[in-house]
Structure 1
């Protein structure tokens, strides 16, 4: 048999209270496991504790946390074993460690409370335990609101007596305490004893009120047990230790794809539930989704573990029944809250609902559930889905906003503001035009013109680039870009932009913008190569001759040949300038003054 089969056998024995057999099965499972499995040691620890073999229970519990030190329930096992051995301080420390790892761990909370009560009893002072019993600062309010004590708490003298015990427990005379049966009733309420129990014994029977209350509690428990034909409970400390030790073994093995396993205690039908789940997994893999859903339903009926609901939702999702998958996830989330399920499993319920909403094209709800999943437990996969969904929402919102007619209205409005010199409102109007018609290059170009007026030249260049991207033949966008670059004194970039504009304009077969382009080019070149204040013509030529771009042109063998030929036959230069690349270089040399046209 495999380790998994031995483990299932052990779980079954444990559920049947056959603890010795459970130990044997878990021992075989540990031996058969290929790698150390913390859950198996935890389960065997629970079985040992149920047999009152707390020494072995402690050894297994410590091995469990050694294998997986981040598993809170392992520390519950260690604490329960220490509690059974009477090591209250060690038990307290380990329950606190469990709560550090999982603040919602109900078993650790209950165990810690029991240990602290036992420590308080151990450290009881000569106040006969009254200090601990009456320690609640809201005690009087609780007693006034409790239907069993509300009427008697209308007596100011009794209220004063309770307050006196709270303030100074040692000041109360035991004889005086015993003579007031109402105080015994109050103690019974504080200690959680059924008020329908027989009357408290005569005060002379016991020497102190704490013992009297304990006796009342024991008699009440015995009466309740007789009603159920059950044996009378054991001593309080032993029963508490046993209740913690007998917590059913956890079963938390990872599986593939969508099939998770919960780290929850097994109950009477856990083994049957796991068997049904296993059948559901096989059917799921065979894509027999209806049968898989029936198997997961059976598992849920046997044992309330929301993992089964998550698996059922996965089958419904694959089946294409997204509404039903969402409904199942909602049920899993609700049940998970009530059962205090692991937050990671609840996170999967939210994520699976998000996936179903995504399939339904309900992006808003998909994003909402992905976000809730991340609140429970943050994973990269769900985070990426959330971000992708949010991006798609923005894209669809932008698409829904597109309206050519309103875009034209915004363009005319922007033109009117621009004519009036109201540049901020012109930018605002052109921005609206872009939103309404994002593929219209004019919106970006017009906004660039308004931004340039506001001296926001980098933004203007960016808008011009966007306009050119939308329409590479939009020559006006090139010219506006060059003007913005010129304002920033980026002369090299200006000339590059204008050369590109000239080529595009000629390629269109019109060339109607060439004159404007050349004029702007010469302006840029003049500013680039013009004399600096205080600089002689010779110094200007020296500086220009060192310009990297000029040096590169003059060192080009082809250009050297053309320039040599032009010296003997100037008319030949015109023929060479028909080549766009040569034309660009010749114009650069003319602008720099290397070639003089006159």
Structure 2
């Protein structure tokens, strides 16, 4: 039985994959399995409900979360998000303000308050910046999903909702642009503008997944899509609100550090990584912005100094935590550590840090890297476990348990055999036999099919599959399986083998049971059902079979001659089992 922590981990994986219904199911199991009430589990399930726009349930879970832990700011963010979704803007504002009381640097709460201000302003008429007609296009959402510059953004349900709100009220665009910087890219894409922010020229190739993508310098405008992008300064990457821009001047040290960063970016694009690292170091020494550390790690990664990149990213995480850096910055640091461990061929560590990155901020490229690392790790562990000698030992133990009638122990040993040598069809076939004894017929069928895949001439697997199908009263399927087995034996010249005789007996049994009267069925009802059987109807409508049957009425010996043909033999046997042809 899985623990609450295991269910939680599985729920997080489903959430990252955007399978919210499955995530809800797993978090519910985690809540039920938890020995004490766990506020994080209710928070996670609330997020799932909110993603599905089921805000009533999202609010109920969020309230339970803060009831369990009233000092956790994120819980109030969950409450506010659900209230916002329900349209209760005043309550949502109070909840976000409560979150900021507990954590003054909480970015989610700050962003939430900006969203509320933007939503409230929609009722106030204002200029639409000439975008009214464009935002009213009914194909807008689909067009944005197809545009490579905005496709990744449109995977975020919250951002899609913002665009829909702008469709309803384009005049609010001036406020919304500053509540979510991604909208600037969306507006630029709608207008067909190549948005170039910052003083640098065009950047070199190198987005996520592109050539050299792992080490891209921080702040590339289109890093997620892998297209040509420009190096940006941190100030440009996160557009402040109008009020902030007017009242908070950029420190001169920051400006000087950004100049060093820009020089470093130029060296990075030219693949002069030592020079780039030197400039990023000067930027960090001038002004403590974690982005500079992430850029240095990118250059170290491209240089092949993976230990150095890991050390730099770890420092970025530590400094970022102390300075309340944005979670996306921390996420990138963790993701790059994971990529470094991939290069170092330490997949367990890579998986660990990719998961940490996704916990901070979920992105498609990082999730793809995690899945690839997990698949490769599982493959290696499986290959390392393979041992033909140990597989044979497991088979012998399984056979001994089978003879004793200890079916569960036999299944366990045959499973061990399959793990040790997946190429041997006997492991699957033997396990199918034991599973049939336990009346687990669907599993027995699957194992028999696996055995046949590995050796299409393995007749015993066909027989075991047919027996399991008959046990499930799937007589037509059993008939098809046995016909394939018969063809294999004929092809191999085994016309008089003991297995061929067994196949023939099973065929007759399958046909008899297929057309036998059902419980409570009268003879007339049975014949009506049989005569409507698709295969029987097809045989009776076959002109060749009609001719053969007419000849048989006048000359029964002719039927015996025709039955030397395997196909005619099969059809006649079906008609005899169905009671259409009767022997005296």
* Number of the residue aligned with 1:104: 105
Per-residue CA deviation, residues 91-132 of structure 1 (Å, 9 max, x unaligned), is x999949938975259x99xxxxxxxxxxxxxxxxxxxxxxx
| Residues 595 and 374 of structure 1: CA distance in aligned 2, closer, same or farther (over 3 Å) | same
2:472 paired with 1:488: yes
* Number of the residue aligned with 1:522: 508
Aligned equivalent of 2:546, options 552, 556, 560: 560
User: Equivalent residue of 2:362, what SS?
Assistant: coil
Please give the residue correspondences for 1:12-161 in structure 2 after superposition, counting only pairs within 5 Å: 96=97, 99=100, 103-104=104-105
* Number of the residue aligned with 2:140: none
Q: Which runs of 5+ in 2 are unaligned?
A: 1-76, 78-92, 111-197, 199-217, 225-230, 239-248
CA distance in 2, matches of 1:93, 1:414: 65
Give the RMSD, CA atoms, in angstroms.
3.4
Deviates more, 1:535-544 or 1:523-532: 535-544
Aligned equivalent of 1:544, options 526, 530, 533: 530
Shift of 1:561: 3.8
2:447 paired with 1:475: no
Shift of 1:559: 3.0
Q: Indicate if the aligned counterparts of 1:260 and 1:307 stay in contact, CA closer than 8 A.
A: no
Shift of 1:542: 4.2
TM-score, normalised to structure 2, is 0.57
Q: Indicate if the aligned counterparts of 2:562 and 2:568 stay in contact, CA closer than 8 A.
A: yes
CA distance in 1, matches of 2:410, 2:527: 45
| Residues 98 and 295 of structure 1: CA distance in aligned 2, closer, same or farther (over 3 Å) | farther
Q: Indicate if the aligned counterparts of 1:410 and 1:432 stay in contact, CA closer than 8 A.
A: yes
* Number of the residue aligned with 1:416: 400
CA distance in 1, matches of 2:270, 2:535: 70
Please give the residue correspondences for 1:240-279 in structure 2 after superposition, counting only pairs within 5 Å: 255-257=221-223, 261-262=233-234, 266-279=250-263
Q: Which runs of 5+ in 1 are unaligned?
A: 1-71, 73-91, 110-250
Q: Indicate if the aligned counterparts of 1:414 and 1:429 stay in contact, CA closer than 8 A.
A: yes
CA distance in 1, matches of 2:297, 2:565: 69
* Number of the residue aligned with 1:204: none
Please give the residue correspondences for 1:218-233 in structure 2 after superposition, counting only pairs within 5 Å: none
Aligned equivalent of 2:438, options 439, 454, 467: 454
Q: Indicate if the aligned counterparts of 2:233 and 2:262 stay in contact, CA closer than 8 A.
A: no
CA distance in 1, matches of 2:522, 2:99: 85
Per-residue CA deviation, residues 441-485 of structure 1 (Å, 9 max, x unaligned), is 111111111111111111111211111122221110110111111
Q: Indicate if the aligned counterparts of 1:350 and 1:369 stay in contact, CA closer than 8 A.
A: yes
* Number of the residue aligned with 2:419: 435
User: Equivalent residue of 1:351, what SS?
Assistant: helix
CA distance in 2, matches of 1:295, 1:453: 71
Shift of 1:562: 4.0
User: Equivalent residue of 1:104, what SS?
Assistant: coil
CA distance in 2, matches of 1:539, 1:255: 73
Shift of 1:532: 4.9
* Number of the residue aligned with 1:40: none
User: Equivalent residue of 2:234, what SS?
Assistant: coil
User: Equivalent residue of 2:410, what SS?
Assistant: helix
Q: Indicate if the aligned counterparts of 1:313 and 1:326 stay in contact, CA closer than 8 A.
A: yes
Q: Indicate if the aligned counterparts of 1:441 and 1:471 stay in contact, CA closer than 8 A.
A: yes
Shift of 1:491: 1.1
| Residues 311 and 579 of structure 1: CA distance in aligned 2, closer, same or farther (over 3 Å) | farther
Shift of 1:563: 3.5
Shift of 1:299: 2.0
* Number of the residue aligned with 1:298: 282
Shift of 1:348: 0.6
CA distance in 1, matches of 2:442, 2:274: 61
CA distance in 1, matches of 2:95, 2:456: 71
Shift of 1:497: 1.0
CA distance in 1, matches of 2:328, 2:413: 49
CA distance in 1, matches of 2:557, 2:273: 85
CA distance in 2, matches of 1:94, 1:423: 59
Larger Rg: 1
CA distance in 2, matches of 1:290, 1:275: 17
| Residues 595 and 277 of structure 1: CA distance in aligned 2, closer, same or farther (over 3 Å) | same
2:319 paired with 1:335: yes
2:305 paired with 1:286: no
CA distance in 1, matches of 2:256, 2:461: 74
Please give the residue correspondences for 1:572-583 in structure 2 after superposition, counting only pairs within 5 Å: 573=559, 577=563, 580-583=566-569
Shift of 1:529: 1.9
CA distance in 1, matches of 2:96, 2:515: 81
| Residues 587 and 346 of structure 1: CA distance in aligned 2, closer, same or farther (over 3 Å) | same
CA distance in 1, matches of 2:233, 2:346: 29
| Residues 584 and 282 of structure 1: CA distance in aligned 2, closer, same or farther (over 3 Å) | farther
User: Equivalent residue of 2:252, what SS?
Assistant: coil
Per-residue CA deviation, residues 16-51 of structure 1 (Å, 9 max, x unaligned), is xxxxxxxxxxxxxxxxxxxxxxxxxxxxxxxxxxxx
User: Equivalent residue of 1:269, what SS?
Assistant: helix
CA distance in 2, matches of 1:379, 1:100: 29
Q: Indicate if the aligned counterparts of 1:503 and 1:580 stay in contact, CA closer than 8 A.
A: no
| Residues 475 and 277 of structure 1: CA distance in aligned 2, closer, same or farther (over 3 Å) | same
Per-residue CA deviation, residues 60-94 of structure 1 (Å, 9 max, x unaligned), is xxxxxxxxxxxx9xxxxxxxxxxxxxxxxxxx999
CA distance in 2, matches of 1:435, 1:506: 33
| Residues 299 and 581 of structure 1: CA distance in aligned 2, closer, same or farther (over 3 Å) | farther
